[in-house]
């Protein structure tokens, strides 16, 4: 990936290390924060630099995948413009063939996108070879950040590859669009996130799991 980062101190109420985006084009350093230490949770006010970074990442992924990726979208809390979020960029990629996506792993890693694992419909994570004839896969996960190349402890981006027009794809888009269009629901979600962040600042797994009921309620709406 072409973007560069620089360490800054974390906010007083956070335990994570974070990164400041550096604008390589005009040689100015912004105060935009991106990245959290693996497993940690911290929330920041929405920063439209996250949207710009998502656009840049989408462009890079499109240049790698070409027609293999049918759609690529910025999703997750950093794509909801009125709420606090973890400063980690989530990108959803819709593809018709997971095997074709995996053929790009070497090129993706050269650009800083590290393949982590596949998830099946029983929520088993598979990090090794996949027999697509025997295993029904619903998602491939890629990640970015110094945690993966050994340069620091941070995770900065997650890339979620799902099937075109799958329920997973529709839910990513529906949740983002509903909360951007409904400020009251967005505020309710933010309040839940703040509560969970205070309780589980050092356990992102539980923090994430405790949001599932709210997310399921939103995506079940017509």
Beta bridge partners of 72: 93
Q: Dihedrals φ, ψ of 147, to 5°?
A: -60, -30
Span 96-155, pLDDT tens digits: 999 999 999 999 999 999 999 999 999 999 999 999 888 899 999 999 999 999 999 999
Q: What is the pLDDT of residue 9?
A: 36
**Residue 189 exposure: Cα atoms within 13 Å on the Cβ side:** 29
* Confidence (pLDDT) at 133: 85
- Mean pLDDT to the nearest integer, 186-190: 97
Which tens digits make up the pLDDT trace of 192-206?
A: 999 999 999 999 999
pLDDT tens-digit map of 145-162: 999 999 999 999 999 999
Considering the domain 4-219, what is its CATH architecture? Answer: 2-Layer Sandwich (3.30)
What mean pLDDT comes out for the span 176-199?
A: 96
Q: At 146, which helix (H) or strand (E)? A: helix 146-149
Q: Is 120 exposed, middle or buried (0-12, 13-18, 19+ CB in 10 A)?
A: middle
SS3 for 79-136, per residue? HCCCCCECCCEEEEEEECCHHHHHCCHHHHHHCCCEEEEEEECCCCEECCCCCCCCCC
pLDDT band at residue 11 under the 50/70/90 scheme = very low
* CA distance linking residue 219 with residue 168, whole number of Å: 10
Q: Torsion angle, CA of 158/161/162/164, rounded to 10 degrees?
A: 130
β strands within 134-177, DSSP E: 137-144, 154-155, 157-163
Question: How many angstroms separate the CA atoms of 139 and 137, rounded?
Answer: 6
If you ran DSSP here, which 8-state letter would residue 21 be given? E
Q: What is the pLDDT of residue 221?
A: 86
Check pLDDT > 90 for residue 188.
yes
- Tell me the per-residue pLDDT of 20-78, one tens digit each, with 9 for 90 and over: 554 444 444 456 789 999 999 999 999 999 999 999 999 999 999 999 999 999 999 99
pTM assigned to the model: 0.88
How many helical (H) and strand (E) elements, i.e. helices and strands, does the chain have? 8, 11
Q: At 163, phi and psi to the nearest 5?
A: -75, 145
**At residue 19, does pLDDT exceed 60?**
no
């Amino acid at each position: 990936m072409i973007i560069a980062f620089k360490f800054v101190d974390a906010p007083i109420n956070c335990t994570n290390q974070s990164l400041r985006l550096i604008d390589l084009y005009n040689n100015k350093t912004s105060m935009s924060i991106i990245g959290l230490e693996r497993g940690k949770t911290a929330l920041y006010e929405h920063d439209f630099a996250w949207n710009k970074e998502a656009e840049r990442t989408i462009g890079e992924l499109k240049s790698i995948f070409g027609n293999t990726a049918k759609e690529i979208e910025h999703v997750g809390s950093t794509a909801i413009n009125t709420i606090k979020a973890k400063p980690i960029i989530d990108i959803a990629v819709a593809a018709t063939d997971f095997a074709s996506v995996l053929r790009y792993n070497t090129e993706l890693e050269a650009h800083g996108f590290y393949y982590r694992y596949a998830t099946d419909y029983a929520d088993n994570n598979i990090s090794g070879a996949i027999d697509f004839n025997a295993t029904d896969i619903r998602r491939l996960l890629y990640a970015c950040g110094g945690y993966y190349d050994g340069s620091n402890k941070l995770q900065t981006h997650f890339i979620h590859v799902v099937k075109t027009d799958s329920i997973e794809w529709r839910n990513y888009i529906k949740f983002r669009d509903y909360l951007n269009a409904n400020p009251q629901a967005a505020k309710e979600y933010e309040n839940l996130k703040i509560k969970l962040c205070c309780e589980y600042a050092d356990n992102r797994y539980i923090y994430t799991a405790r949001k599932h009921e709210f997310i399921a309620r939103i995506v079940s709406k017509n």
